Structures are given as structure tokens and as C-alpha cells.
Amino acid sequence: MPLITESAKHAWEEKPTQREGRIQRKHLAKGQEGAPDNFELNLYRHIAGYGTPRHRHNWEQMRFGLNSTMTYDPGKSISTGSLVYFPEGAYYGPQETPATSEVLLLQYGGASGQGYLSQEQLFVAREALLKKGELKGGIYTWTDASGKKHNQDGAEAIWEEVFQRKIQYIKPRIPEPVKLETDAFHWVESDTPGLEEKFLAMFTERKVQAVMYRATQAAMLPVAASERNLFFTMKGNFSISGRQCGAHTSLYSDRGEALTLALEPGWEALMITLPQIV
């Protein structure tokens, strides 16, 4: 059976962070720790004042603004209704949060196959680093045995603590984040009666896809068993195997899971197909 998380039934929890400020989250889904195609899907609430320095990652992410004004580059925001793709190896930031912002955040192993750290690995590494130095403003600072002071991006330092080796960055396939204004796309008829779609994008040779769907009448949506798909319902209701779910419900279907969603009129969702790495 697919993994279904009805976020409306869960409370916000504080998330430890190596950055400046506070984050609250609702955990929705995750992959297999240590696998090159590992992923994590969360609802994040960035409290006003949260920020990061300019940095990059050796994995990828997508962020969908639910109620957001936070920036990802100077003058560029993850605005409500926009989807922003952050390519592996591409710099972004500094990030600022002028007002508390909520985003759907998907982070996953990129095309190079280096994988994505689990939250459990991140927390353990963060505590280990704090025994040797300080995390402040998104920067990790420590002093070596010779008395020399070092500064390093906090996320980068955590990755190196987990793997005990120097991090390697690929040449970005796309040199900077890509923002998609989803309300500027037209709804078009899909192959499924009663269902319209907005095909937003496909990224890299690993075929990461982002599509929006909406039901104009009661409809049945088959989900491909050959792919790993994440759905997040923005509006309306759907049911599966007799279980009815509403807005802000996530659904993750793994490879080999053939399933069909029964959609009610007014249902609207974002679907992301995860990368084909293994």
C-alpha cells in the first residue's frame, strides 16, 4: 500500500537546524537511508527571521510555496503557488524570511548518485559537530589542533561529518535555481476523462517530473507502477481503497505499486516523479 500522510491531523514540530533562526515541520514521507535515490518530503514553516548564507548542495530539491514570501536569491522569492527547482551543485542564497512562510519541501539524491542524508544522520552529525565547534548563521566554526580557526558552510560540514571525507560537487547541469509560476500555465485535458493537467517540467537525464492535476468531475486516476511518485493534494478530496483524504494530504507510491485514485470534483494536486537512479 502507498504511504499516506494527512498533515492536517499532525502538529508542527520544532526541527533542529544548522542555519540561523527557527524551522517547524510536518514530516510526510521518506526513502531508504543510504540509498542514492533517498528522499524526504516535509511541510516546512520557516519562522520570520530564518536565513541562510549563499551555499550549494550535492543533492537536489524542489520547493512549492503554500503561504510564502521567503527568498532563495536576492530579489527572488518562493512565492505562494510557485515551484522552485534547485539543481545539484548550483549556488543559491542568501535566503531571507521576512514573514513566517510555509512551503512544501522535497529533497532527494541528485543525478550524480551521491544520495541524500536522512534527518536522523543529520541530527547525529550536528550534535557531533557542536562538541568540537559552533554553528552560527549557517556557518560552522572550529579551531584545529594547531590553533587555526576554520569556517565552513554548516550543511557541508554535516555531510563531511557523516561520510568522513571531503565533499565533491558536480558541475551544475543548470547553473541556478529555476522558478516556475504555476498559475501562468494553462490547464489542458489529460488522457483521463474529467482530469486536467499542467505539465510543468522535466529535469536532468534522471527524468524528475513535476505535473499538476485537477478534477473537473468525478474521475479515476491510475498511477504508474513503474515509477516512484509523490502526490500532494492542495484542494479537494480523493479516496483510495475506501479511505477518504482531504487537502494537504501526501501520498507516496513506490515502484511496483499499481493503484488508482478516486477523485472528487475540485481535487487539485501536485505530482512529482522521483529520479530514476537505481
- All structural domains of the chain, each given as residue ranges with its CATH number in brackets, are 184-273 (2.60.120.10)
Mean pLDDT of 232-248: 96
pLDDT (tens digit per residue) in 180-234: 999 999 999 999 999 999 999 999 999 999 999 999 999 999 998 999 999 999 9
Q: What pLDDT was estimated at residue 52?
A: 92
236 close to 266: Cβ distance less than 8 angstroms? yes
Measured in residues, the chain has a length of 278
What nine digits make up the cell of 179? 522558478
263 within 8 A of 238, measured Cβ to Cβ: yes
Q: Are 178 and 78 in contact (CB under 8 A)?
A: no
3-state secondary structure 86-149: ECCCCCECCEECCCCEEEEEEEECCCCCCCCCCHHHHHHHHHHHHCCEEEECCEEEEECCCCCE
> Buried (b) or exposed (e) across 168-184, using 16+ Cβ within 10 A?
eeeeebeeebebbebee
Average of per-residue pLDDT values in the chain: 94
Residue for grid cell 505539465: 199
What's the Rg (C-alpha) of the chain?
19
pLDDT (tens digit per residue) in 96-112: 999 999 999 999 999 99
Q: What is the average pLDDT across 10-22?
A: 90
Q: State the alpha helices, DSSP H only, in 70-166.
A: 119-130, 154-163
Assign 277 a pLDDT band (cuts: 50, 70, 90).
confident
For residue 75, give the 3-state DSSP assignment: coil
Using pLDDT thresholds of 50, 70 and 90, give the confidence band for residue 33: very high
Return the bridge partners of 152, or none.
Answer: 140
With contact defined as beta carbons under 8 Å apart, do 142 and 150 qualify? yes
pLDDT given for residue 163 in this prediction: 87
Gap between the Cα atoms of 127 and 70, Å rounded: 27
Look at 57-71, 160-174, 228-242 and tell me which has the smallest mean pLDDT: 160-174
Assessment of whether the complete model's pTM goes beyond 0.85:
yes
**Which pLDDT score, from 0 to 100, does residue 123 have?**
86
Estimate the crossing angle of helix 154-163 against helix 119-130, to 10 degrees.
100
The two beta strands, 39-46 and 23-30, are antiparallel
pLDDT of residue 195: 97
pLDDT of 92:
97
Is residue 278 pLDDT above 80, yes or no?
A: no
| Per-residue model confidence (pLDDT) at position 155 | 86
Alpha-carbon span 41 to 203, nearest angstrom: 18
